[in-house]
Structure 1
Amino acid sequence: MPVRMLPSAADLLVGVLRPALAVATVGTLIPDPMPLPFVLARPIGGAAVDMRFLARAVVDVQTWAETDRDAEDLAAAARAALVAAWRQQVVVPGVGSVGWLAERAAPVLLPDEHTGDGVYRYQATYELTIRPAS
């Protein structure tokens, strides 16, 4: 198995969000069929700051639920979980931790042609730095 110098941003997101959002399924790919409520959390860009110990990741967090309020609340809970992981320096075992966090786009209702009637979607974008676990 190859040696990984920097942690997977996807693994870190899932490791932070799954325990905090136990009411929802959290994943990095959209399943078919999609269970509701559902949280999609994945990196969409970034680069190493220092390839030995620090990476910057731009991440997308989307939430789906059966009501607008539930989808919005789930997006707010995801935001709070990321902030708590950063502020408390939570280490996801075998992965790493969030060294810094900034919101690039706050959670917003984002309907689309692929989302069925009675399903609501929110999307937010964050930038974070990640460090490997010690």
Structure 2
Amino acid sequence: MLPSAADLLVGILRPALAGATVGTLLPEPMPLPFVLARPVGGAAVDMRFLARAVVDVQTWAESDRAAEDLAAASRTALVMAWRAQTVVPAVGSIGFLTERTAPVLLPEERTPDGVYRYQATYELAVRPAP
């Protein structure tokens, strides 16, 4: 009944982020630039037509600026899809969007030199396609 939040994220971000690979799992090897977009929590508000999803959007690129720009473009794509009530065919739309954590640089030991990673967290109300 309820749409997949992962399918909704991919359906919104892939067309908006030309030149970047968008997925819900980390590929090995990882192509750059790359966007990981996946639900990390949430629950149904009404099993028939509304769910809240907490989603994680991470971006990787070969420069800090490119990774930050990709994170900003991902944020913009989500906001624009929500405001325009864009329906991803056979999936659904975003009924509400709020940012829990703004995009931030996350350096870590496992990230290779010359690769930069940003992460943001959003809460979406997800509705099925009409």
Question: In structure 1, what is the equivalent of residue 127 of structure 2?
Answer: 131
Question: In structure 2, what is the equivalent of residue 107 of structure 1?
Answer: 103
Give distance in 2, aligned partners of 1:85 and 1:111. Answer: 29
2:10 match: secondary structure = helix
Q: 1:55 corresponds to which letter in structure 2? A: A
Unaligned runs of 5+ in 2: none
Give distance in 2, aligned partners of 1:111 and 1:9. Answer: 27
TM-score, normalised via structure 1 length: 0.96
Out of 85, 102, 109, the position equivalent to 2:81 is: 85
Q: Tell me the CA shift for residue 114 of structure 1.
A: 1.4
Q: Tell me the CA shift for residue 61 of structure 1.
A: 0.1
Moved over 3 A (4+): none
State the identity as a percent.
Answer: 82
**CA RMSD across the alignment:** 0.3
Out of 8, 13, 23, the position equivalent to 1:12 is: 8
Give distance in 2, aligned partners of 1:87 and 1:28. Answer: 24
Give distance in 1, aligned partners of 2:13 and 2:49. Answer: 22
Count of matched residue positions in the alignment of Structure 1 and Structure 2: 130
Question: In structure 2, what is the equivalent of residue 39 of structure 1?
Answer: 35
Unaligned runs of 5+ in 1: none
